[in-house]
Chain A
């Protein structure tokens, strides 16, 4: 277990800046997920922590020691790669024990550690196989096993589940979660999949264009996104956005209105720039069906539209609504909701659940 601290970390390739001054602190034993769209710099940042990429400026500390100029092997880290990166010419046993062989650990001690890792990952029966005889999930276990045996202070995962099919991804996700609980090690995990991020992380770091957009627990990011990007990136289905007129009414509250949105008062987390239009965000899960606008309570906002598409997923029903302006609204209703295609419906949301952002 070790504390990891990134201070003003920057990375440039020539004149192109990839990482633009990132500050992150990861506590001992914490599971932190870097999430963001392709090209946001999350993998580069992880590789910089691993020592596989130089940093242009700033400092990286692992366990209180600045590791900027240390090679990967001296950083007390282990890394699991997207492509597994297990050595095709070695058996599973040799792969898992590779780091110990390099370190010169004696044979009996190495065998003990390899068997222990194999037991944790339930792959004792695979030890004498070659990687070509393994499935994708088994290969990923071998890669994780190789990381475990060295007992590193920090585990780094670079999109480890991206090459697996959906069912296997779910299983492995749960296994990685369990592994974190049993090992209690610090883990940094990179993914573009926000569901992986939400389910695994103690804390999520959302990145965009080489900058940290927001850091927080999964539920903090879900309920209190700092900006439009985080609001849109976290949560599925995606948050609904409407451009609205917003007039301040005091105490950070604004009277809003738009062709599709009935006039109401919503509080913004941050003051909005004066005289500019704002963006109202409502999560699909925060919408519920009501009989008509008159049935809404005083602390609810109202939207009306026509059902354009109904997707029944069992646990929930995803409804696409066509609003009067032609815009589309998505609502996640309960699984047994009888809403029918083509019907005109009225939806309500709690004003406290609505988000108001400055237009970017």
Chain B
């Protein structure tokens, strides 16, 4: 009897892994195709697409596409821009959105429920609808720098950072997490003489590791992978462009497919490295929020 049930368990496990492996293979296909194609000349790449050879590193394999990609676009600059914009935005976003969440949950001020609802309502507004008004605003904003006051933020890093710092999803994540923190910890700290800012810095934030990881992961992926339309509008200057805008360099007159694949492979490296580094936190964050990254 025990033998049968143990065999059944083994079979069930095998079936489960088989399904998971099949799903993994399906998801891996585009990635494998991208990497393999990045080593092939365009002619062979296009010819191979009709067969399984498209997923195998066979035929005329070389690093020519990488060389050409580097010549065609300033990849290093684009990657630096994207990584820098992502890191600064994520850091500021976590700081400011967590403070907002803290205020919504712990501070007693009238109208906070209504204001939180309004903030959350902005989740349903697609970016495309506010892109043009936002362009008008940022094109006229002042900036006080070392050279005095400048007008207009176009062609800068800050125009790609500031509008993305505060977002409803990140605030929502912090609000939900803070609500579940034991209220008595906050009250104990208050009784012990901590100011609200000390409660935030010394009690709440050190206990918020899981939500910090979730917010950082979701925000980083969004900033690195999805910054295309906005930089296209506000940055004409090559020195400030992020990686996604760099894709356009490979779509001129004739699409250079091999170089495009090389470029995509290169820009995927930081994301994959980030994913592997934060894999456990990444899975936990998706599971806990039910939000797709």
Q: Do the beta carbons of B184 and A83 come within 8 Å of each other?
A: yes
Q: Do the beta carbons of A73 and B207 come within 8 Å of each other?
A: no
Q: Do the beta carbons of B207 and A88 come within 8 Å of each other?
A: yes
Looking at chain B, what size class is its interface with the partner chain?
Answer: 10 to 19
Q: Do the beta carbons of A81 and B188 come within 8 Å of each other?
A: yes
Among A50, A83, A102, point to the contact of B193 (Cβ < 8 A): A102
In the bound complex, CA of A87 to CA of B188 (Å): 9
Q: Do the beta carbons of A73 and B192 come within 8 Å of each other?
A: yes
User: In chain B between 188 and 221, which residues have their CB closer than 8 angstroms to a CB of chain A?
Assistant: 188-194, 198, 203, 206-207
Minimum CB distance partner of A97 in chain B? B192
Q: Do the beta carbons of A83 and B203 come within 8 Å of each other?
A: no
Q: Do the beta carbons of A81 and B189 come within 8 Å of each other?
A: no
Interchain nearest-CB distance for A187 vs B (Å): 15
Q: Do the beta carbons of B182 and A85 come within 8 Å of each other?
A: yes
B187, CB-defined interface residue at 8 Å:
yes
B185, CB-defined interface residue at 8 Å:
yes
In the bound complex, CA of A61 to CA of B185 (Å): 26
In the bound complex, CA of A150 to CA of B190 (Å): 13
Task: Give chain B residues whose Cβ lies under 8 Å from the Cβ of A73.
Answer: 190-194
Q: Do the beta carbons of A146 and B192 come within 8 Å of each other?
A: yes
Q: Do the beta carbons of B193 and A99 come within 8 Å of each other?
A: yes
Task: Give chain A residues whose Cβ lies under 8 Å from the Cβ of B192.
Answer: 73, 78, 98-99, 102, 146, 150
Q: A85-B182, A87-B203, A102-B198 are in contact. Are A79 and B193 (CB under 8 A)?
A: no
Q: Do the beta carbons of A52 and B187 come within 8 Å of each other?
A: yes
Q: A81-B184, A85-B184, A85-B185 are in contact. Are A103 and B193 (CB under 8 A)?
A: yes
The residue among A51, A73, A103, A143 with the most chain B CB atoms within 10 A of its own CB is: A73
Task: Give chain B residues whose Cβ lies under 8 Å from the Cβ of A99.
Answer: 192-193
Q: How would residues 73 to 92 of chain A score, 1 for a CB under 8 Å from any chain B CB and 0 otherwise?
A: 10001110111011111000
In the bound complex, CA of A103 to CA of B189 (Å): 12
In the bound complex, CA of A28 to CA of B185 (Å): 28
In the bound complex, CA of A259 to CA of B184 (Å): 53
Interchain nearest-CB distance for A62 vs B (Å): 13
Minimum CB distance partner of B209 in chain A? A89
Interchain nearest-CB distance for B43 vs A (Å): 60
User: In chain A between 36 and 90, which residues have their CB closer than 8 angstroms to a CB of chain B?
Assistant: 50-52, 71-73, 77-79, 81-83, 85-89
Q: Do the beta carbons of B187 and A71 come within 8 Å of each other?
A: no
Q: Do the beta carbons of B187 and A81 come within 8 Å of each other?
A: yes
Q: Do the beta carbons of A83 and B182 come within 8 Å of each other?
A: yes
In the bound complex, CA of A46 to CA of B55 (Å): 71
Among B185, B191, B203, point to the contact of A52 (Cβ < 8 A): B191
Q: A83-B182, A87-B185, A102-B198 are in contact. Are A52 and B190 (CB under 8 A)?
A: yes
In the bound complex, CA of A77 to CA of B193 (Å): 10
Q: Do the beta carbons of B187 and A85 come within 8 Å of each other?
A: yes
Q: Do the beta carbons of B203 and A72 come within 8 Å of each other?
A: no
Interchain nearest-CB distance for B148 vs A (Å): 40
In the bound complex, CA of A77 to CA of B182 (Å): 21
In the bound complex, CA of A113 to CA of B142 (Å): 53
Interchain nearest-CB distance for A48 vs B (Å): 13
The residue among B182, B193, B203, B206 with the most chain A CB atoms within 10 A of its own CB is: B193
What are the 3 tightest A-B residue pairs by CB atom distance, in nearest-first order?
A73-B193, A85-B188, A99-B192
Extra A-B contacts (12), CB below 8 Å, given A72-B190, A79-B187: A50-B191, A52-B187, A71-B190, A72-B191, A79-B191, A83-B184, A85-B187, A89-B206, A89-B207, A102-B198, A146-B192, A150-B193
